[in-house]
């Protein structure tokens, strides 16, 4: 299972676990080795490990440098997949919903290894997915927001019905366009929630590709493993 630690991969895993055709053997996550955090989400590795412990699944980290090139990213990912393939892995599942170009890219990369991609949530309406997520008892906190879509006030909030009602027009309910990212701290397949505390909220900027706006800005809420906050 390609595992970000957020809501989409969590819900995709829920459906995969209920599908008798497959056995889930590992969680596979891209990690920024320089900071010890999940790439893009900014979540600390120890929280990722707490999720894996509750799932009783081995966590396989693709440890990337601070600013990897696409060639380096692809090499590291392919190496990790080859290691899993040697252990018997034949498929990799993703939480993608409707980004066609991303799906094609993932399928092409796996085809090189004679592996197959699975997309348990593919083309389901995102509002429907969030309703299912809440009904099933998943709980997550918003750890990253893209400033182009959402302001600082959305960062660090619980992903619930109030959060969804507050989203501006044009923002996808699941953040499928990169509007926001989450950290899952409770799920139907967790025996116990992951205790955590909210830390600092910081703004980070990154260079954008040539031809686009000069900077992309994101707000991050640091999440610390520890005593459960009141939500």
Determine, yes or no, domain membership for 173.
yes
DSSP string, 3-66: --SSHHHHHHHHHHHT-TT-----EEEEEETTTTEETTT--BHHHHHHHHHHHT--EEEEEE-S
Average pLDDT over residues 127-133: 96
pLDDT score of 208 more than 70: no
Q: How many residues does the chain have?
A: 231
Determine, yes or no, domain membership for 202.
yes
Determine, yes or no, domain membership for 52.
yes
What kind and span of H or E run contains 104? helix 100-111
| pLDDT number for residue 111 | 97
% the chain with pLDDT above 70? 94
- Domain count of the fold of the chain: 1
| pLDDT number for residue 67 | 84
Average pLDDT over residues 78-98: 97
Q: Which domain CATH number covers 165?
A: 3.40.50.620
Determine, yes or no, domain membership for 128.
yes
Determine, yes or no, domain membership for 214.
yes
Mean pLDDT of the chain: 93
Strand 27-32 and strand 37-38: pairing?
antiparallel
The 8-class DSSP code of residue 2 comes to: B
pTM: 0.92
> Using 50, 70 and 90 to split pLDDT, how confident is the model at 126?
very high
**Domain enclosing residue 25, as ranges:** 7-225
Determine, yes or no, domain membership for 168.
yes
Q: Tell me: the pLDDT tens digits for 165-189?
A: 999 999 999 999 999 999 999 999 9
Neighbours of 175 (CB within 10 A): 25
> Using 50, 70 and 90 to split pLDDT, how confident is the model at 212?
low
């Amino acid at each position: 299972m390609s595992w970000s630690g957020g809501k989409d991969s969590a819900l995709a895993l829920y459906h995969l676990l209920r599908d008798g055709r497959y056995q889930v053997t590992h969680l596979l996550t891209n990690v920024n080795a320089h900071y010890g955090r999940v790439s893009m989400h900014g979540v600390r590795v120890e929280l990722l490990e707490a999720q894996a412990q509750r799932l009783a699944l081995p966590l396989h980290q693709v440890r990337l440098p601070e600013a990897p090139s696409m060639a380096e990213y692809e090499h590291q990912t392919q190496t990790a997949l080859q290691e899993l393939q040697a252990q018997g892995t034949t498929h990799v599942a993703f939480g993608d919903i409707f980004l066609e170009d991303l799906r094609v890219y993932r399928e092409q990369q796996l085809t090189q290894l004679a592996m197959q991609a699975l997309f348990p949530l593919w083309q389901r309406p995102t509002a429907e997915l969030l309703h299912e997520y809440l009904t099933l008892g998943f709980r997550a906190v918003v750890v990253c927001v893209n400033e182009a879509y959402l302001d600082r006030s959305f960062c660090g909030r619980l992903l619930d019905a109030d959060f969804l009602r507050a989203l501006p027009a044009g923002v996808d309910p699941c953040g499928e366009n990169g509007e926001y990212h989450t950290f899952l701290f409770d799920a139907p397949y967790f025996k116990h929630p992951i205790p955590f505390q909210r830390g600092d909220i910081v703004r980070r900027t990154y260079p954008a590709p040539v031809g686009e706006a000069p900077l992309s800005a994101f707000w991050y809420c640091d999440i610390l493993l520890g005593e459960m906050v009141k939500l």
